[in-house]
Amino acid sequence: MMGNKNNDSNSSSPKTKWGNRFIIAAIIQGGIITGMALATVAFQLLNTDVDVIQFLSLSFEGPAKWFFIGIILYLILIVAIAVTAVFYNHLETNLKRKFSKVSNVLAWIHLFGMNIGGAGSTILMIFAGLAGSGVLSLKTAETALLFSKPAGS
């Protein structure tokens, strides 16, 4: 039976360093938002007195909207990083473009700008929504009560 063999040897498969860097960045950012989601679920499981999502939903007109906007923008950012990886992959493999020193510097700025600037701003939005709505004060008040009890009581 004759046909095309899928040869995955290093010599025949083209390498794309910038595409790989952006894909790895998208995977890391996906792991970060997964960790944030698991932390939110764990926070809810440990604080059975208050329904955190209901608390945020009821105060959506106030600062809690920044929590939801931050989450949505963070998810969009992760998809944008992955799409950017496809763009760089197309440039390097299909169009066989070589990156000069200037374009390498610009690609590094692009990578850091999306992953540090974009992720940092959306995480700050999420934190501002949690802090402004009072969800963070629930946990800090509980911790303060634990540490303020006298030893004899």
**Residue 57's pLDDT is what?**
72
Packing angle of the helix pair 17-46, 119-133 (nearest 10 deg): 10
Tokens at 5, concatenated: 């063999």
Question: Does residue 9 surpass a pLDDT of 60?
Answer: no
Torsion of CA 62, 67, 71, 74, to 10 degrees: 100
**Residue 153's pLDDT is what?**
53
Question: Does residue 5 surpass a pLDDT of 60?
Answer: no
pLDDT tens digits, 54-108: 777 776 777 888 888 999 999 999 999 999 999 999 988 888 888 889 999 999 9
- What pTM did the predictor assign? 0.76
Average pLDDT, the chain: 82
Per-residue pLDDT, averaged over 41-60, amounts to: 76
Q: How many CA atoms lie within 13 A of 1 on its CB side?
A: 2
- CB neighbours (10 Å) of residue 118? 19
Q: How far is CA 52 from CA 68, 71, 128, 146, in A?
A: 13, 15, 15, 20
Query: Percent of the chain having pLDDT more than 70?
Result: 80
Question: Does residue 3 surpass a pLDDT of 80?
Answer: no
pLDDT tens digits, 130-149: 888 777 776 665 555 555 65
Tell me the three state secondary structure of residue 63.
Answer: coil
Question: Does residue 11 surpass a pLDDT of 70?
Answer: no
Per-residue pLDDT, averaged over 31-43, amounts to: 91
Most confident range (mean pLDDT) of 12-16, 29-33, 62-66 is 29-33
Sign, CA dihedral 138-141-147-152, equals negative
